[in-house]
A = this chain, B = another copy of it.
Amino acid sequence: MSIPTIEFYWDSASPYTYLAATQIEALAARHGARVVWKPFLLGKAFEATGNRMPAAVPAKGRYLYKDVALWAQHYGVPFKFPKVFPVASLASLRIACALAEADVGRWALAVMQAYWSQDQDIGQPEVLKAVAGSLGWDGEALLAQAQTQPVKDRLKANTDEAVRRGVFGAPSFFVGDTLFWGNDRLELLEGVLSGRLAA
């Protein structure tokens, strides 16, 4: 039997993506599934679909601020709303596209922890280099690779693919062809993965 796969479209600029990222590997492990971490540009998906970031509605923005903190408390993960928001996540996503597939999840988690729990501006090259260093990687070399055309193309291709498959926000997950949007859908995703729910 083949190993079930969870495809995870993530953008480090999204707080709910950080929350989901802290939970997804443990969820996958409970079902013998593997996670394929797919960096994509949430802003481009908003443009392509006509969706907007929550803070585009002021009342929703105020709600989000408290809501995210409550989820973090619920999961028992560290969280601090960053001073720089929204953040330029492009470089962090391009670096993800320069990595071997097996390393993407570690990078995603490390970069989102730096931004969403340590208030580090991941739009700054120095910050990204330090995060890479904390994983034992050569940040300078990664930043250089992130500027190459094949890497840029990969991020664009992931984004186009996500939109084509119906993604309009983040985090977005697929189990087969079934889309799950939001950390608040992990319960349904797990239901489908376990066979308790029929997608």
Contacts and interface: CB of A to CB of B under 8 A. Distances in A.
A59 B198 contact: no
Copies in the complex: 2
Given A188-B74, A197-B74, A198-B73, A57 B50 contact: yes
Given A70-B188, A70-B197, A184-B182, A57 B51 contact: yes
A185 B66 CA distance: 12
A2 B37 CA distance: 48
Interface residues of A, number: 34
A63 B199 contact: no
Contacts of A198: 73
A43 to B, nearest CB: 15
Contacts of A182: 184
A58 interface: yes
A71 B189 CA distance: 11
Consensus secondary structure, chain A interface: helix
Interface string A24-46: 00000000000000000000000
B168 A59 contact: yes
A57 B168 contact: yes
A60 interface: yes
A167 to B, nearest CB: 7
A125 interface: no
A78 interface: no
Q: Which 8 A-B pairs have the closest CB atoms?
A: A184-B184, A59-B168, A49-B59, A51-B57, A50-B57, A70-B188, A60-B168, A73-B197
18 contacts: A49-B57, A49-B58, A49-B59, A50-B57, A51-B57, A51-B59, A57-B168, A59-B167, A60-B168, A60-B169, A63-B168, A63-B181, A66-B178, A70-B188, A70-B197, A70-B199, A74-B191, A182-B184
